[in-house]
């Protein structure tokens, strides 16, 4: 909503600490039980119901990400405070271009992953991945899409060379259906028809029962029937072809927390660190592979580390790292002083009150609609 009014003038910051660290901090509040803590975290994520705060959907849209690592998340921790202040100072310098700052290896790699995601024609979502060596050298990128005979994925084309592959991705097929959704529908029908045969539910409730099962979060999150190669696997295959053993001990950057299927491929590839932006709490990666994966950055065991991305969001990468004017007519570095510096997006505020009124009216209208539904 704020973005719809203020556009690029508003900068949102997403602060993240691992789930276990959050649970530990909340457990120190005497009035909260284990059940209270679980309910609070679920409400905050907004995953269990439509009217939650939807942090899961909102967080990836932030412009800058701050990670407070496990062990530093305790309130009052001086090291954590210094860590956050240092990162915020860097962000402000980028906004006001008051210093010359280059992207980190992590920011470069995540931008590459996000750019790669735009190649995907998947009907469900676009996911991107980028594999780097242990020293940060980009080895390959990948995205989720349907594999084609002979290697690679559908969608290869070149306007200059007039090369266009035949396209057999879901959107180009005759029924244009997502294969994963279609198979989940069949699975739900099989279950309900079995209940009908046993006369456990009446025939007139068949369709309603099917829709109830499809909406169930466990069935809804099934991904086994997708035709697409996942972005992580696509990137790993590419890195293996062109870089061989250089993938060992390397890193993979993904736009979304890896599913449990990708988790086992990542472990087997020899990659040591996984960086992600969008949380995916339904993933069973840690539940199935806690012997080989961890979300703890400070854990000393030789496990693959799942790490929340930290730094400038890919959506702001080009804008914040664009140089602007850096030197005087004499060719000497000349940056804006603290008092005179202006943000990279400084526009007239005259139209803002009108935009605010429009959005408020829309919110009020939606509230009325919700009340009518209740």
Q: Retrieve residue 199's tokens.
A: 């006369």
Give the number of other CB atoms < 10 A from CB of residue 195: 14
With 90 as the cut, is the pLDDT of residue 255 above it? Answer: yes
In whole angstroms, how far apart are CA 260 and each of 109, 287, 293? 22, 9, 11
Q: What is the pLDDT of residues 135-173, one digit of tens each?
A: 999 999 999 999 998 889 998 765 565 666 788 888 888
pLDDT band at 353, cuts 50/70/90?
Answer: confident
Which pLDDT score is estimated for 317? 96
In whole angstroms, how far apart are CA 283 and each of 199, 201, 304? 35, 32, 16
Q: Whose structure tokens read 């035709």? A: 227
Q: Retrieve residue 304's tokens.
A: 């693959």
Strands 13-16 and 64-67 turn out to be: parallel
pLDDT band at 87, cuts 50/70/90?
Answer: very high
Which stretch of DSSP H or E encloses residue 14?
strand 13-16
Give the bridge partners for 253, in sequence order.
130, 275
**Distance from first CA to last CA of the chain, Å, rounded?**
23
pLDDT band at 70, cuts 50/70/90?
Answer: low
Q: What is the pLDDT of residues 24-43, one digit of tens each?
A: 777 877 778 888 877 777 66
Q: Retrieve residue 14's tokens.
A: 């997403």
As a whole number, mean pLDDT of residues 193-208 equals 90
Rounded Cα distance, 106 and 1, in Å = 29
Of 269, 307, 311, 254, residue with least CA distance to 105: 311
Q: What is the pLDDT of residues 266-302, one digit of tens each?
A: 999 999 999 999 987 678 899 999 999 998 877 667 8
Sign of the torsion angle spanned by Cα atoms 145, 146, 152, 155: negative
Q: Retrieve residue 35's tokens.
A: 């059940």
Q: State the DSSP string of 26-75.
A: HHTSTT--HHHHHHHHHHHHT-SSTTS--HHHHGGG-SEEEE--TTS-ST
Say if CB 142 and CB 237 are below 8 A apart. Answer: yes
Which pLDDT score is estimated for 18? 76
Q: State the DSSP string of 124-162.
A: S---EEEEE-TT--EEEEEE-B-B-TTSSBTT-EETTTT
Give the distance from CA 318 to its chain's centroid: 19
Which pLDDT score is estimated for 241? 94
Which pLDDT score is estimated for 327? 80
As a whole number, mean pLDDT of residues 305-326 equals 92
Mapped onto helix, strand or coil, the DSSP state of residue 108 is helix
The whole model's pTM is what?
A: 0.83
Provide the mean pLDDT of the chain: 84
Of 339, 336, 318, 319, residue with least CA distance to 327: 336
């Amino acid at each position: 909503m704020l973005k719809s009014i203020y556009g690029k003038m508003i900068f949102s910051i997403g602060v993240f600490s691992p789930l276990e660290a959050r649970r530990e901090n909340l457990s120190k509040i005497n009035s909260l039980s284990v059940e209270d803590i679980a309910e609070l975290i679920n409400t905050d994520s907004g995953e269990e119901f439509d009217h939650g705060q939807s942090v899961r959907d909102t967080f990836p849209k932030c412009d800058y990400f701050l990670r407070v690592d496990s062990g530093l998340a305790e309130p009052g921790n001086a090291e954590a405070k210094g860590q956050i202040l240092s990162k915020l100072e860097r962000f402000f310098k980028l906004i006001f271009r008051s210093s010359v700052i280059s992207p980190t290896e992590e920011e470069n790699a995540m931008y590459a992953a996000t750019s790669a995601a735009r190649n995907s024609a998947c009907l469900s979502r676009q996911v991107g991945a980028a594999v780097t060596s242990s020293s940060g050298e980009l080895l390959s990128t990948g995205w989720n899409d349907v594999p084609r005979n002979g290697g690679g994925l559908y969608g290869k084309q070149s306007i200059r060379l007039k090369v266009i592959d035949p396209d057999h991705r879901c959107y180009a097929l005759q029924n244009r259906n997502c294969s994963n959704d279609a198979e989940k529908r069949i699975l739900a029908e099989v279950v309900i028809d079995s209940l009908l045969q046993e006369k456990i539910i009446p025939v007139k409730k068949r369709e309603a029962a099917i829709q109830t099962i499809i909406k169930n979060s466990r069935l809804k999150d099934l991904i086994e029937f997708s035709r697409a190669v996942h972005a992580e696997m696509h990137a790993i295959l590419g890195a293996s072809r062109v870089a061989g053993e250089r993938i060992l001990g390397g890193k993979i950057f993904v736009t979304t927390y890896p599913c449990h299927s990708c988790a086992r491929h990542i472990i087997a590839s020899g990659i040591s660190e996984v960086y992600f932006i969008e949380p995916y709490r339904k993933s069973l990666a840690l539940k199935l592979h806690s012997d080989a994966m961890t979300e703890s950055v400070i854990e000393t065991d030789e496990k693959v580390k799942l790490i929340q991305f930290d730094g400038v969001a890919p959506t702001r990468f080009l804008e914040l790292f664009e140089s602007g004017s850096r030197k005087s007519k004499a060719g000497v570095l000349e940056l804006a002083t603290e008092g005179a510096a202006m943000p990279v997006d400084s526009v007239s505020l005259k139209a803002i009150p009108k935009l605010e009124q429009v959005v408020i009216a829309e919110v009020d209208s939606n509230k009325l609609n919700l009340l009518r539904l209740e």
